[in-house]
Structure 1
Amino acid sequence: MTLLSISGLEASYGSSKALFGVDLTMSEGEVTALMGRNGMGKSTTVKAICRLIKSTGTLRVFDQDVHRLPSHKVARLGVGLVPEGRRCFASLTVRENLIAAARPGDWTMATVSALFPRLGERSHQRAASLSGGEQQMLAIGRALMTNPRLLILDEATEGLAPIIRQEIWAAIGRVKHETGMAILLIDKSLKELSAVSDKAVILERGATVWSGGMNALPLDIQEKHLGV
């Protein structure tokens, strides 16, 4: 089943156009890496999917046209977002953050704490007192507590210490293999993306320039569109 279908997606920030034709499809249980250099439209594509920015073109989530839906209704369809920059509720405790948007399903306080034991240990601490890595785990846990069918992670390991990055990548791998959840990943680490992703989509200047199996990504395409 196709969970996400995007074709010819365009979007702007005021008079500045950011997306010029993004094409992307995702199926049930598929992990897709959305890649490209900084400023190529990856986060804008995520904002369009979640209806945080207006867009045109084909945009169907779970076979429903979402162009006219507000962001909270897209979330209720089953889209869980881990936004860039974490954005936890600083004054709330870990537990309060997790239950704030919780919906019935397999992901509960117990299962999230099993995935990230640090969160269970710090359930009564305010989010503001957590380290950056712990806040990122909390953001992921909060998205999982909505029991989504499609989980979107926008730069989930950016700026974190290597040991914390490893913990988060291990958790993403567990979610993939143990639940079969569809995941859309944005990250700069090709090595870690390759280990968990089934498919890759590369953006260049707001448009899709390559898509295919992650294991079929040619070296020349990597160098042309992902190299420094």
Structure 2
Amino acid sequence: MSLLELDHVAASYGPSQALFDISLALDPGEVLALMGRNGMGKSTTIKVICRLLPYHGGRLRLDGRDMANVPSYRAARMGLGLVPEGRRCFGPLTVRENLIAAARPGTWDFATVTALFPRLAEREGQIAASLSGGEQQMLAIGRALMTNPRLLILDEATEGLAPLVRQEIWEAIARLKRDSGLAILVVDKSLAELARIADRGVIIEKGATVWSDGFTALTPEITDRYLGV
């Protein structure tokens, strides 16, 4: 059974429909890349998965459970860990306070998170607002891991970061895939890095799933048609 399933999901912002026909599935321990040009519905799909936006068509299931009437806080307790676009750390709180704010018992605690991102241990008492963009992104990932999720969702986790920091984030994601057994849904524009870590990919075009397959099947023709500028 898939951990996460979306079958022909549709969703709107008020009268404006944003998703028309989204279908995808993610198995335990799998890394799935969610791709598409800007404005095609990737972040909206993530909002629906995390129950931050209602959907009015299709079906969303987590571990076989229908999620239609599940509020966002219960979705988080069921094992969804979100690293949102733009990081959104708690600026006035310290690094440690950010990490423990939503912590739940499990493998991921302050020691294991700071082993993945040693810079967070060095900045433990520093307020989040004073961190660099890369350090804030590490903190956002660490905060999501501290909830001990079953599914980690990364929405543009390397956007706007310096190349060396981007590489550090990608290496951490690769370690999570190799060592943690987490299912990971990742949105990013770097096809080269996605190809290195993702098992499969899904492409969204105008609010609908238009391609879904193993990453080795992503041909230049498909890339040019759906992901090119």
TM tier, smaller: over 0.9
How far did residue 89 of structure 1 move? Answer: 0.3
What residue in structure 2 maps to residue 61 of structure 1? 62
Q: Which stretch shows the higher mean deviation, 60-69 or 35-44? A: 60-69
What residue in structure 2 maps to residue 5 of structure 1? 5
CA deviations on 1:114-148 (whole Å, 9 max, x unpaired) are: 10011000010000110011000000000000010
CA separation in 2, counterparts of 1:98 and 1:190?
30
CA deviations on 1:150-193 (whole Å, 9 max, x unpaired) are: 00000000000000000000000000000121000000000000
The residue type paired with residue 21 of structure 1 is D
What residue in structure 2 maps to residue 173 of structure 1? 174
What residue in structure 1 maps to residue 40 of structure 2? 40
CA deviations on 1:49-68 (whole Å, 9 max, x unpaired) are: 00111103110011111110
User: How do 1:1-228 residues align onto structure 2 when only pairs under 5 Å count?
Assistant: 1-56=1-56, 57-228=58-229
CA separation in 2, counterparts of 1:219 and 1:7?
27
Task: For structure 2, list consecutive stretches of 5 or more residues without a partner in the other structure.
Answer: none
The residue type paired with residue 193 of structure 2 is E
CA deviations on 1:12-61 (whole Å, 9 max, x unpaired) are: 11111100000000101000000000000000000000011110311001
CA separation in 1, counterparts of 2:107 and 2:74?
21
How far did residue 108 of structure 1 move? Answer: 0.7
CA separation in 2, counterparts of 1:74 and 1:226?
31
Q: Secondary structure, in 3 states, of the residue corresponding to 1:135?
A: helix
Question: Which contiguous aligned blocks of 4+ residues in structure 1 show a shift greater than 6 angstroms?
Answer: none
CA separation in 1, counterparts of 2:181 and 2:200?
15
CA separation in 2, counterparts of 1:211 and 1:196?
16
CA separation in 1, counterparts of 2:209 and 2:2?
19
- State the identity as a percent: 66
Aligned length: 228
CA separation in 2, counterparts of 1:97 and 1:115?
16
The residue type paired with residue 220 of structure 1 is E
CA deviations on 1:201-220 (whole Å, 9 max, x unpaired) are: 00000000000001111221
Q: Secondary structure, in 3 states, of the residue corresponding to 1:96?
A: helix
CA separation in 2, counterparts of 1:197 and 1:112?
22
Supply the RMSD in Å over aligned alpha carbons: 0.6
The residue type paired with residue 106 of structure 1 is T
How far did residue 77 of structure 1 move? Answer: 0.2
CA separation in 2, counterparts of 1:157 and 1:37?
16
Q: Secondary structure, in 3 states, of the residue corresponding to 2:105?
A: coil
CA separation in 2, counterparts of 1:184 and 1:31?
6
The residue type paired with residue 38 of structure 1 is N
What TM-score results when the alignment is normalised by the length of structure 1? 0.99
